Amino acid sequence: MMPFKGSGLVLLTFLVSVLALGAYCETPYEKFLRQHHNNPKSSVGKQYCDVMMKRRGLDKPACKEVNTFIHGTKNNIIAVCTASGGKDYGNRLRVALRPFTVTTCRLKGGSTRPPCKYSDNKSSRYIVIACNRNGKPVHFDESIIVP
């Protein structure tokens, strides 16, 4: 009966490891939301980009140079993947039919090592995204300034 006790411990350790890793796995849609969705815009003070980039893990292992946060509802962003909210932009991308308020964070200075310092630019833009087969956004490509 002793071999089963050792095997049970190995199996338990394996299962705990799998569950722990599963907690850190995110779908492409969840990653898109973590990196680009912030609605309503978080009230974090004057250093919005510094705080949000750190909070969302976009400062590790190196500072991300540019990132855009979309201040629209999830449903309105998802709608860009449909005919009612977006249109084909070529190269498997969709452009929004209506503008979104966005904040673009740009790394200040030359170092890409934390602590990261960012400048921010809030504006109204037409977002350009890629969508998966389930009609969910999975990649932020660019945004077009509202003329």
Which residues are designated catalytic?
A: 36, 139
* CA Rg value for the chain: 20
**Ramachandran assignment for 68, one of left (phi > 0), alpha (psi -120 to 50 degrees), beta (any other):** beta
Q: Which residues contact 76 (CB under 8 A, 6 or more apart)?
A: 85, 100
Closest CA to 87 of 96, 79, 77: 96
